[in-house]
Structure 1
């Protein structure tokens, strides 16, 4: 029996060309749809979409400085808001893996100076999941520990202090060492001061005018104050979801539902450790939104398709209705979620 080598080679070549053309058409369609959504929503920021190890879309829209009309670049840096919480959660969980803390540790172990009775009730787990009820250090709890969810920055501030007490270093140094270890060269604690290309953030006031959000916009850096750019957030995703930052068993803890929040964007959302997802969708769409004044952001991972989606914006529109503020983000999330 003779084998037609030429015919087989020709068939493989034609098949390869068809596959390449299909991929090109899909990428072209994706790009044009993203462009249309961003333009229609007057988006000002950076959008990045990646699948597997390849970036499929990366583009900057608008200005880093509206007054001088300096155009945004894809490597510009933004405050990433509550995306920061998963970084702090990872730092805590790495200490948990080393045996340096337990998630059941009570706060009085680390803060003997707190005289409120809740110091021997609230645990690290409660801080991570916003179920602690702390309003202020010198005040009674808002609710009984573990019975409710109240989104809180102060809890993550306490987590940063716990890390400092364990490591005998500042939270700035602890986080900087993590970023350096894993090659996140564009991610910074704002006190590190070695960053450049940090864009200006703007907010729409009650008259519809854009005003500059001055200074460091976040009190508790651990809860919402880190600085990064789109490709570093993508690299963070790749490290986190591949089990390089924490063990897979620990990552599964991060992806476990511990509380439900009435969310200003999704109405109801489930919370793990620094990560959020819709009910039952932790293996479909998982990640975080962020808002530091002037900086709406979103970073989500899609395990079934191995896609990553990052949006960093530096204008906060319609702040009385976050569904409108984050319309570009959620429109694009629907697009990526439905992409096969």
Structure 2
């Protein structure tokens, strides 16, 4: 081969390398776009984006206490709403891995005080996937178990009761021991009042004024009332998706599509065990949103690039349109998803 041909090949290789986007450049563009989203919307809370264990972006914006103008801090704690469900699911799955719970077991094998025939029909799997049909402990099923999806808080409360029966410990004690073992020092069952940095949650009234809500913890803890902060949720994602909390095989159970949910924000999504994702996008974007009165949250993982996103807000606006309530969260999620696909496809 002539020397001139080698020179041509060399220049082509150099050109391709130059045209190829660098990870740091993609990340820099992403962070700039996150700033742009925040500048265009009302937001009061904490945003954290990370790749592997490295924090790429972290900002505390606004106030943890609006009345007293206490500035928001990155370490501040929030009620995380339905993000709590994946934690309850992990505790169930750890007992499953230990052979103490069967996913196809009926709840009658663990709970006997409920005076309804359906305890011999509804399974642990159906509680995890909101396909159980239970509307109240003293009422018949709304539909035949396993035949439909209906988002439910009470199902995860029953899962906590199953855990209490299996372990002989209260759910509060189980969570406290679990969080301590995981090094999640800012994550709590709300009855464990060691938390010292819980922000106040606010909702907009009909006039658009933000009003402090005192009922933010009025939900089943296993379904929606756990307390955490951005760094702990980042660590939670790191541990969960790397197989430190459950095996990779069990994690696959969590990210398997068992039902389709008509979602108030995402329209149609697939539901696994406490985790949501667009059908077929388990390897692209997986996680959960959370809502408690005054608290608007997102915790998502991007498997292709091992990136994590946590958005915690303590002001809830536009409650007549949840797409607007979560607009900062979902717009940043779109950016994360797009940029992660760029990195995954081209690098």
Structure 1 length normalisation: TM-score? 0.92
Paired position in structure 2 for 1:70: 70
- Partners of 2:320 and 2:182 in 1: CA distance: 38
Summarize deviations over 1:48-86 as a string: whole Å, max 9, x none.
000122110000111101111111011100001111000
Structure 1 residues 138-157: aligned runs within 5 Å = 138-157=138-157
> What are the equivalent positions in structure 2 for 1:271-310 lying under 5 Å apart?
271-310=271-310
CA distance in 1, matches of 2:103, 2:73: 41
Match of 1:40?
A: 40
Matches within 5 A, 1:306-325: 306-325=306-325
8 A contact 2:111–2:161 mirrored in 1: no
What residue is the counterpart of 2:192 in the other structure?
192
- Quote the Cα distance in structure 2 between the aligned partners of 1:60 and 1:309: 14
C-alpha distance in structure 2 between counterparts of 1:65 and 1:39, whole Å: 21
Q: 1:171 to 1:242 in 2, by over 3 A?
A: same
Q: CA RMSD in A?
A: 1.5
Between the aligned partners of 2:280 and 2:180, the Cα distance in structure 1 is 34
From the superposition, tell whether residues 118 and 61 of structure 1 become closer, same or farther in structure 2 (CA, over 3 Å).
same
For residue 156 of structure 2, give the secondary structure of its aligned residue in structure 1: helix
* Secondary structure of residue in 2 paired with 1:56: strand
Residue 79 of structure 2 aligns with which residue?
Answer: 79
Q: 1:24 to 1:92 in 2, by over 3 A?
A: closer
Please state how far the C-alpha of 1:218 moved relative to its aligned partner.
3.2
Q: Deviations over 1:293-337 (max 9, x none)?
A: 111100111111111111000011111111100100110011010
Q: Mean Cα displacement is larger for which, 214-223 or 324-333?
A: 214-223
1:126 is matched with: 126
**Structure 1: runs of 5+ lacking an equivalent:** 1-17
Cα offset for 1:217?
A: 2.3
Q: Distance in 1 between matches of 2:24 and 2:97?
A: 44
Q: Runs ≥4 in structure 1, deviation > 2 angstroms?
A: 22-32, 215-219
Number of aligned positions between the proteins: 321
- CA shift for structure 1 position 27: 4.5
SS at match of 2:50: strand
Q: In structure 1, how many angstroms separate the alpha carbons of the residues matched to 2:30 and 2:110? A: 50
Post-superposition shift, 1:219?
Answer: 2.2
TM-score (norm 2): 0.90
Partner residue, 2:258: 258
